[in-house]
Amino acid sequence: MYATNYHRASSVQDAVRMRSAADESKYLAGGMTLIATMKQRLAAPSDLVDLRHIPSLRGISVDGTSVRIGAATTHYDVASSTELKAACPAICDLAHGIGDPHVRHMGTIGGSVANNDPAADYPAALLALDAVIVTNTREIKAGDFFTGLFETALQDAEMIVAVTFDAPAKAAYAKFRNPASRYAMTGVFVARRDNGDVRVSVTGAGADGVFRHPGMEAALSANWSPDSLAGVSVDPSDLMSDIHASAEYRANLVKVMAKRAVAAA
Amino acid sequence: MAKVKMTVNGRHVGAECEDRTLLVHFLRENLALTGTHVGCDTTQCGACVVHMDGRSVKSCTILAAQAAGSTILTIEGISNGGELHPVQAAFKANHGLQCGFCTPGMVMTAIDMIRRHGANLDEATVRAELDGNICRCTGYHNIVKSILAAAAEMGGVKQAAE
């Protein structure tokens, strides 16, 4: 790892000030991606601003169907929240499937969302849940937030403070895990509202990151059943090909995972 | 350079280290606690697992500076004098190791797992919970057996105490 300067912030204001004071600085949440990347010398921030000790960034609140998850809330805390399990069990299941137990004890929802790894799990959930990403300066709809591979709408020094969403009537996440990395080789999150609106979002497969699939959404809006997806086609030309899976294989996985998710919702 | 202070195995400790120093190197090189191992350098193998404020973490993926002010428990801190921790005893009784390199991480992971699941642990859960720990010798079978034996023993002790 290259040399870096560590700073510990005690408030959001404090963090933004520290981050703005250095050109090559980065926010450090759980560090489960950032520290690992720095160890490989693939990232070399001059300064790190630790967000783990800002109390207002942690915690989950549920009021009816209205959910707010603080950005520094760990995957373990999301997975094991009884309140959240009652309102939206799908997001607890998703958090329980990230990485391994030790990673879940450190990794945070805000860190995952800000990094926008094309194979991360949370972006699929936030897109399908029509979530809002709350930053220190504004609120951004998930549909406008995830802009490409490791790219988001966040400005320099802007930081995520929470994500909010309205819990749907039904939802589930199905993931085909890479057996070595635990990242999604394809993950599909489905959500259905009381008014019949359906959102289907896919992670781990898109060449440009997380995306919604309008064909599957239309089919499931008409008939909420795994069988209704049989006739829907998934175009492999927009999907990733790598050593783990070809685009054609991923196109098939998208359908299989979507069916599993609908069956589980 | 930073002066990093924390509580390790019940002892208040402090040492000077670079900001980029990983917790595992701080433990091994500054505190001479070499029971915590570095196995992979890529955050996958779990040989470096310790407990930070009561939860299992990978000490190779946390800066010592991040851990400043926290309470750390390492493999050196779990036995009661000459008496093995029940998880250590179960690994010994069930031959839960061969070369032993991954064992400190396995034991610390097992203690955390039993803390969360108690005596309700079953084989499928143990295997799923071992996702973050790699063993290249045993094929995991006796590790799983050891953890289940320890969970039964520790759960039993807890029930007897209640």
Q: Per-residue pLDDT tens for A214-249?
A: 999 999 999 999 999 999 999 999 999 999 999 999
Q: Where are the domains of chain A?
A: 5-50, 58-166, 170-264
Burial class (CB in 10 A: 0-12, 13-18, 19+), B147: buried
Q: Which fold has domain B86-161?
A: DNA polymerase; domain 1 (1.10.150)
The answer to whether B41 faces chain A, any CB pair under 8 Å, is yes
The answer to whether B61 faces chain A, any CB pair under 8 Å, is yes
Q: Sort out which chain A residues have CB atoms less than 8 A from B42's CB and list them.
A: 36, 39-40
Q: Sort out which chain A residues have CB atoms less than 8 A from B132's CB and list them.
A: 99-103
Q: Which fold has domain B2-77?
A: Ubiquitin-like (UB roll) (3.10.20)
Site from A28, A75, A100 to mutate, B interface, most B CB atoms within 10 angstroms: A100
- What pLDDT score does B162 carry? 47
State yes or no: pLDDT of A198 exceeds 70.
yes
State yes or no: pLDDT of A24 exceeds 70.
yes
**CATH for the stretch A58-166:** 3.30.465.10
- What pLDDT score does B156 carry? 62
Please give the Cα distance from B49 to B39 (Å, whole number): 11
- Residue B116 · residue B82 · CB < 8 Å: no
ipTM: 0.95
Predicted TM-score (pTM) of the model is 0.95
What does each C-alpha distance from A58 to A72, A73, B11, B93 come to in angstroms?
5, 5, 28, 42
Partner residue opposite B61 with nearest CB, options A2, A3, A35? A35
Architecture, CATH, for domain A5-50: 2-Layer Sandwich (3.30)
- What pLDDT score does B155 carry? 80
The superfamily (CATH) of domain A170-264 is: CO dehydrogenase flavoprotein, C-terminal domain (3.30.390.50)
Domain with CATH 1.10.150.120 in chain B: 86-161
**Pure H helices in B14-100:** 23-25, 86-93
Partner residue opposite B43 with nearest CB, options A28, A36, A76? A36
Q: Do domains A58-166 and A170-264 have the same CATH topology?
A: no
